[in-house]
Homo-oligomer: A and B are copies of this chain.
Amino acid sequence: MLHREVANDADIQFRLYGEIVIGDWTDRFQGTRALPRRVRDQLIQVAHVIQLKKGQQVFGPDNIPDSLLFLYDGRIRVSQTSENGREIVLYRVDAGESCVLTTACMLAEEAYNAEGIAETDVTAVVLPKPAFDRLAAEEDEFRNFVFAAYSRRLIDLLRVVDDVAFGRIDVRLAERLLSLGGDHKEISATHQQLASELGTAREVISRVLQDFQKREMIAQSRGRIALLDKPALAALASSD
């Protein structure tokens, strides 16, 4: 334990005083992989790499970076919070994708209240706006990559609207439990966190989970949910 803390301190030192070295990140993204070697080398020059700890804010209402973010490793959760504090997850940005929402705001010059949180430790490449502009102008591959990123987010949001406006809460919860669970049999999440996923209240989640438990689809303990009967959950989830 002590050993681990020392290691962490060393990490931080490295982050503060040294250059973070990762492999050729331009290999990692569809939009940069296909570029000529010359351009990629330039990119590696002008962009810089940042690392964020799990839980750190990547962007938010008060913190709008004027650059494009390439997510090299990790995952970012983008969510929106209402005035009265309720929250809803809009989508997640996975490694290999870029986070266009910040650029969106820059261009539209309108306020919005979405924020991005590092859901895991994150390594990302920050591409300053001038470089972004130049690339978008000169490289077809890159431009299409960016357009596709925008498009994906638009589609994601259409889905969220559909779910929130027309979906049943039990169906949505079953769906989300499965997707959060992935291959695992257990999820580590509080009721409040699940409520924030779906944009509802904790009490609602508690009630629905009670119901799931009675039907023996899940088992609960503090902060954990065991997925006992995934097929049943899947059946419920697809009954929309």
Chain A residues close to B by CB (< 8 Å): 80, 82-84, 86, 88, 90, 101, 103-108, 110, 112-114, 133, 136-138, 140, 143-144, 147-148, 150-155, 157-162, 164-166, 199, 240
**Which B residues are CB-close (under 8 A) to A84?**
166
| Cβ 8 A contact of A166, one of B82, B108, B114, B158 | B82
**Which B residues are CB-close (under 8 A) to A103?**
147, 151
A82 touches B165 (CB 8 A): yes
**Which B residues are CB-close (under 8 A) to A137?**
137-138, 140, 143
| Cβ 8 A contact of A144, one of B105, B107, B150, B240 | B107
Report A86 CB to chain B, min CB distance, Å: 6
CA distance A108 to B84 in the complex (A): 34
| Cβ 8 A contact of A161, one of B90, B101, B144, B166 | B90
B155 touches A104 (CB 8 A): yes
B162 touches A161 (CB 8 A): no
CA distance A160 to B136 in the complex (A): 29
Residue ID in chain B nearest A167 by CB atoms = B82
Residue ID in chain B nearest A83 by CB atoms = B240
